[in-house]
Amino acid sequence: MTNSNIKISVFDGTGDFSLWKTRMFSNLRILGLKDTLVEQASFPPLSEEDEADPTKKKKRIEEETEKIERCEKAMNIIFLNVGDKVLRKIDQCKTAAKAWMLLERLYLVKTLPNHVYLQLKVYNYRMQESKSLDENIDEFLKKTSDLSNLQIQVPDEVQAILILSSLPVKYEMLKETLKYGREGLKLEEVISASKSKKLEFKADSSSRSAAQGLHVKGNQNNNSRSRSQDDKKICWIYGKEDHFKRQCYKWLEKNKSSGNTQEAGASRLAKDDAQD
């Protein structure tokens, strides 16, 4: 945290220096200290006439004191927002400008091989399916920011084309839509359209899941009703529920009557055989 109560992530030498540098510069600019990041020439000496004038001499002392205080304030803010390992490398710097330039030399590689490497990473960029759309876009913007810090600018339309080309296969229809029927592309438009398409995919997926859930629930309800109907006790004779045919008094009486008739017939047959 700086004296301006603005929170900035501490740079420990392994994070994103370009992003940290941008935030730190913004903080110093808010405080009116951005000029301290450039080494300034000393005040010219006062002429004999000005030296003899107490008012002018006092003003010069105040100006020099203010300059020193502003430089020290900027340097302290930088020191408070770097990790121990980084601080050890810049703690001998006497001005904010020297500390700033040393940080750039240490952590912002400006060699030709690095220029080529970073540009290849940008122009050959492809989104990864394992990452979200937002994560992929953020990664791409970080690469273009790294180039910008090296004074290599990637035009907005080129960035838009690179993002569009790197979208996964499921965005193919969006690619075709944005490619034709317009005079140019803007990075902001491509990012916005991609995010809107992502929301459509999410909504479609939710709708399909809900429909599948209703289908499964409907089958379960149907099976449950079928089972409940199968489990009901229904009398085939009386047509009522809660008992089976074998428990129906009508069936029992009929069966008993039929059994008596058969028993009587068998008795008569036995008697006739005995008489013969």
φ, ψ for residue 265 (rounded to 5)?
-65, -40
Q: How many whole angstroms separate alpha carbon 261 and alpha carbon 257?
A: 6
In the chain, the N- to C-terminal Cα span, in Å, equals 127
| pLDDT for 35 | 93
Tell which residue, 28, 98, 100, has the closest CA to residue 70.
28
Question: What string of H, E and C letters represents the secondary structure of 21-48?
Answer: HHHHHHHHHHCCCHHHHCCCCCCCCCCH
pLDDT in tens, the chain (276 residues): 444 566 788 999 888 888 899 899 999 999 999 999 998 888 888 888 888 888 888 898 899 999 999 999 999 999 999 999 999 999 999 999 999 999 988 887 766 677 888 899 899 999 998 899 999 999 999 889 888 878 889 999 999 999 999 998 888 888 888 888 677 889 999 999 999 998 988 887 776 665 565 655 555 655 555 444 555 555 555 555 555 555 565 656 666 555 554 454 445 444 544 554
Long-range contacts of 203-207 (CB under 8 A, 24+ apart): none
DSSP 171: G
